[in-house]
Structure 1
């Protein structure tokens, strides 16, 4: 393993930043709940002020042209979730200030397997209007009672003077809200002051992030650093740093925790980490989308194919939870027609640059692995005909690129679902997110067996007729791998983030959405008024809708709704 250190000027800068945080920990400990609520409210206001600059900076490094509908992705996954998370955190702190539980006012119900579930979406009237037909629950770990949920919610803010030292956040380079959300979670959930090391591809956001986090920087609770791997290595091994949180791949995690090359592999095998401090992580994996057989209309086939294209191509395919394998029924009479629609949706999705480092090489590696790999155009690849007995690397290697594979499993809806769940749990790398798509009539026929399937899936977010990305965008939901992973078998990571209710011992988030967009949903009896969601890659008004959603999240008000609805309906 290389032991190169940063240039001495950067070493001094890192040391100064860490020393500032050591002093800042005392200042953070002295902040009572009212002050902490005021600080997160100021972060909310700063995010609103910086939203335009934030999106411009993100578009610059992702090389998105001015006026592109794809800019909607940057509005909706950049400032928007930071605004909603900051608002929810402020409400959580306010509840604790008033001597209440943050969960007061949220529905808590029994869930399968001795669990309880906290309904976090919809919660407000705004949720019911803006996300009609969508819902999300946080399922707690088995044995956690309703009383425990209410009494333990608040995490580090229940005893704010007991701080957790200096933590490092190694920022993500793909979704621009991740670094800021991770900083907020370290501070408010774990009471750790934070050194944020930016991924080099996001260096253009340094000024924006500095202004957004300025209230926390000013009291010494946050410092932001830039630089390459040498800076990150020096920082995480700094003797005054007590904890590391990272977002990335399992391979990057192992390089940080165990080192690289033969020595790193030997340390991993022996269970002797090179990094001698706790590490939490949100990592990627191979996210499946399980398409349950049913009798679909042509419009259903087309819409759900566009849904899958979004799950794959959102942000160019550079998402930890991007769908990589579509699991379909080999006996489904509509399989071929559906896959034809998937191929069309992939080919017709807007072209975009491969901005993330190494993407082209990963695409070429996928093509080299499969003789039947089909180049769709725009750098996209579709791989059909995986051998169920030996499907190859598509199930075990995260491509983090616009590559989509198809795995076929036989059986009617019930048999197929059982086998698909088994495959997802036992054969796919990672546990971050899994998507299920099923017709409402099929859902009704499956009954409790579908609920059992959701409970059996060992994933941190399970989405039925929605993309797991909706869970990412839901401030009060949890985001992270299924619990139980270890440093030497990290899969999709350890711990959770987001979780703005500060719930203790969550297991997963379960998201549900409408099978059809409005107005077809209404015509078929679904209680959902949402049109095609603005995060769909072929949504023509995504940029306008995204901008208006950010403006609304900055200052929720009735007068803003007509403009949002009008833009969304044109999408």
Structure 2
């Protein structure tokens, strides 16, 4: 393996250090702008979402990239310890979280790993890490147009980081009109890249995006958005003649493995699921959309009642994303018996909706085929007898009948997990999703930074599903199959994304401060 170019590494490390300082300097203003646009009181607990999914995520990403490049600079080798690699079921796994002393302190009992395609070996995994830093003559690979998302404020900047530092592209970030109010803040946060002529930020609608994508100087495209917009770009007139990567939508399933739960556990897991739904008014590609349950689970009705209770108590949100009211209405028409959290909501808000008892055999219904992109949730019970049978049937149902393959969740208590034996691991192996999260929202996979985020690698431009490629790949791996994150059924520390965490704003600010300073 050749040595990485020392000058290029030093320059990029300096860029990352400067961006960390500049990003933290604008963090408060960044969050205030997001809260104003989404009609959130910036001093309320809900404002924690704008901290965690905004500057905190970007700062963590910057710090992890800096750590990786500093390791490259010092050792001339990628950051991968021997004790991180393990072979399991014929494939190799990198155990990337926790590392050090702080991770297990903040996330007690959490474990994250990257699972590689079966063709990969320890030697190929190492050889392909950070390959752009060992190959070529230091010239840029070209110009990538990044079409930004309008929902989560950290997405566009993190997509840029992936393309610049992992793909070696200069970038044009075309902001989504829904959140282009953040443009001037982004320009200050990433000013060092703009001054180096590595990044340009563009504004405008679809016509501006089309012009940039088809420009002769553009050599690659990345989009975070919908499969509809992706297909219009790829198969439009003119058709796209350059490579494109993407992170698109998903009908995100949460599989509730039947167990014997206490009343407190029922309430806690109802809060867990509700938190996966209501965050950011449910304008998330990983928002819970379909609950898969066991029809014969004795506590099924109790769990659904607990979930309805939590949703009824949870404050509704301003539906800031265009088209949400119509999508919400379409869902309510399709499921007229669905439980609505409130009959009266503030102007511009939408109530939370839970439709239960859907027929698993009706494969074409809207809850299974369309990403709702608003605060609705459907429950589908499967006719199975045992937890092991449920895991097998739920895996098959999600793989075969739900749109998308970005991320999914499993909720299972420790006793049940022990009782099902190999069925638990078999389910994780067979789930065709880019992220599998156990007892925790898959958005944590998005935010960890050490766990690449993207669709399961089976899609094509002709059948795009949830997209092609992985972002947030700060360790710069290739040959990724999926990421798996496991958390305790009942965490020791109350997570700051839970809707009933009264201290989540203070915790979110503290996390942001920490990520600006660690590494």
The verdict on a shared fold, with TM-score over 0.5 as the criterion, is yes
Pick aligned residue for 1:84 from 45, 60, 72: 60
Q: Does 1:505 align with 2:479?
A: yes
What's the counterpart of residue 187 of structure 1?
Answer: 164
Q: Does 1:402 align with 2:375?
A: yes
What's the counterpart of residue 517 of structure 1?
Answer: 491
What's the counterpart of residue 432 of structure 2?
Answer: 458
What's the counterpart of residue 212 of structure 1?
Answer: 189
Q: Note if contact 2:316-2:352 (Cα within 8 Å) is conserved in structure 1.
A: no
What's the counterpart of residue 345 of structure 2?
Answer: none
User: For 2:288 and 2:133, how far apart are their aligned partners in 1?
Assistant: 35
Q: TM-score, normalised by structure 1?
A: 0.86
Q: Note if contact 1:459-1:482 (Cα within 8 Å) is conserved in structure 2.
A: yes
Q: Which deviates more, 382-391 or 152-161? A: 152-161
Deviations 1:192-216 (A, max 9, x none): 1000000011111111100111111
What's the counterpart of residue 445 of structure 2?
Answer: 471
User: For 1:284 and 1:142, how far apart are their aligned partners in 2?
Assistant: 26
Q: What SS is found at the alignment partner of 2:475?
A: coil
Pick aligned residue for 2:317 from 352, 358, 361: 352
Q: Note if contact 2:159-2:472 (Cα within 8 Å) is conserved in structure 1.
A: yes
User: For 1:323 and 1:111, how far apart are their aligned partners in 2?
Assistant: 31
What's the counterpart of residue 545 of structure 1?
Answer: 507
User: For 1:103 and 1:453, how far apart are their aligned partners in 2?
Assistant: 30
Question: CA shift at 1:474, angstroms?
Answer: 0.7
Q: Does 1:414 align with 2:388?
A: yes
Deviations 1:36-89 (A, max 9, x none): 111111111111111111111111211111311011011111111111111111
User: Where do residues 3-402 of structure 1 align in structure 2 (5 Å cutoff)?
Assistant: 32-105=8-81, 107-159=83-135, 161-259=138-236, 274-377=239-342, 378-391=350-363, 392-402=365-375
User: For 2:55 and 2:330, how far apart are their aligned partners in 1?
Assistant: 34
Q: TM-score, normalised by structure 2?
A: 0.94
CA RMSD for the aligned pairs? 1.6
Q: What SS is found at the alignment partner of 2:45?
A: coil
What's the counterpart of residue 436 of structure 1?
Answer: 410
Question: CA shift at 1:162, angstroms?
Answer: 4.3
Question: CA shift at 1:143, angstroms?
Answer: 2.3
The structure-2 alpha-carbon separation of the partners of 1:111 and 1:293, relative to structure 1 and needing over 3 Å to count, comes to farther
Question: CA shift at 1:556, angstroms?
Answer: 3.5
Question: CA shift at 1:100, angstroms?
Answer: 4.0
The structure-2 alpha-carbon separation of the partners of 1:97 and 1:114, relative to structure 1 and needing over 3 Å to count, comes to same
Question: CA shift at 1:102, angstroms?
Answer: 2.8
What's the counterpart of residue 534 of structure 1?
Answer: 496
- What runs of 5+ residues in structure 1 fail to find an aligned partner? 1-28, 265-272, 519-529, 558-571
The structure-2 alpha-carbon separation of the partners of 1:341 and 1:111, relative to structure 1 and needing over 3 Å to count, comes to farther
Deviations 1:96-128 (A, max 9, x none): 212343333373333544211111211121111
Aligned length: 505
User: For 2:489 and 2:338, how far apart are their aligned partners in 1?
Assistant: 30
Q: Note if contact 1:433-1:461 (Cα within 8 Å) is conserved in structure 2.
A: yes
What's the counterpart of residue 18 of structure 1?
Answer: none
User: For 2:133 and 2:251, how far apart are their aligned partners in 1?
Assistant: 35
Q: Note if contact 1:106-1:119 (Cα within 8 Å) is conserved in structure 2.
A: no
Q: Note if contact 1:48-1:554 (Cα within 8 Å) is conserved in structure 2.
A: yes
User: For 1:279 and 1:154, how far apart are their aligned partners in 2?
Assistant: 20
User: For 1:124 and 1:73, how far apart are their aligned partners in 2?
Assistant: 26
User: For 1:540 and 1:155, how far apart are their aligned partners in 2?
Assistant: 45
What's the counterpart of residue 461 of structure 2?
Answer: 487
Question: CA shift at 1:538, angstroms?
Answer: 2.6
Q: Note if contact 2:294-2:300 (Cα within 8 Å) is conserved in structure 1.
A: yes
User: For 1:111 and 1:63, how far apart are their aligned partners in 2?
Assistant: 49
Question: CA shift at 1:145, angstroms?
Answer: 1.2
Q: Note if contact 1:96-1:158 (Cα within 8 Å) is conserved in structure 2.
A: no
What's the counterpart of residue 346 of structure 2?
Answer: none
